[in-house]
Structure 1
């Protein structure tokens, strides 16, 4: 069964949101190991910098695989 474009977008958004939450948690745990002191707001900003790219990547790859 083919996935609609809307469902591809919803799936991509869900993947990005879960990935964003995991990335923030990972940053909070790992950054101190490297001596990086970052405020929580900066963690959020760093994560947001990659959200648009991640969303586009997920959606485009999903559509590519839907064509195959």
Structure 2
């Protein structure tokens, strides 16, 4: 069963929100263990930066895999082995 676009968007938004909260809490706990004093505000900023980077990375990887799949499909349909 395929997932609708709105379902995919909702799943991605919920996953990102949960990851954001987990990362923000981890930043508040982990950085002091390494000798870096951090309060909620800067931890929030750090988490925002890493969340944006993570979303961009995930998008780039997904697009790359989609390109690879499209090339493979074209080869199968075309019956050739050219790359």
Q: Same fold (TM over 0.5)?
A: yes
TM-score relative to the length of structure 1 = 0.74
User: How many aligned positions are there?
Assistant: 62
Q: CA, structure 1 residues 34+40, in 2 after alignment: closer, same or farther (shift >3 Å)?
A: same
Gaps of 5+ in 2: 70-83
Q: CA, structure 1 residues 30+41, in 2 after alignment: closer, same or farther (shift >3 Å)?
A: same
State the secondary structure of the residue aligned to 2:3.
coil
Computing the radius of gyration over CA atoms, which structure comes out larger, 1 or 2?
2
TM-score relative to the length of structure 2 = 0.62
Larger displacement relative to structure 2 (21-30 or 49-58): 49-58
Q: CA, structure 1 residues 5+53, in 2 after alignment: closer, same or farther (shift >3 Å)?
A: farther
Partner residue in 2 for 1:19: 19
CA contact (8 A) 1:12 1:55 kept: no
Give the aligned CA root-mean-square deviation in angstroms.
2.1
Question: Relative CO higher for 1 or 2, CA cutoff 8 Å, sep ≥ 6?
Answer: 1
Gaps of 5+ in 1: none
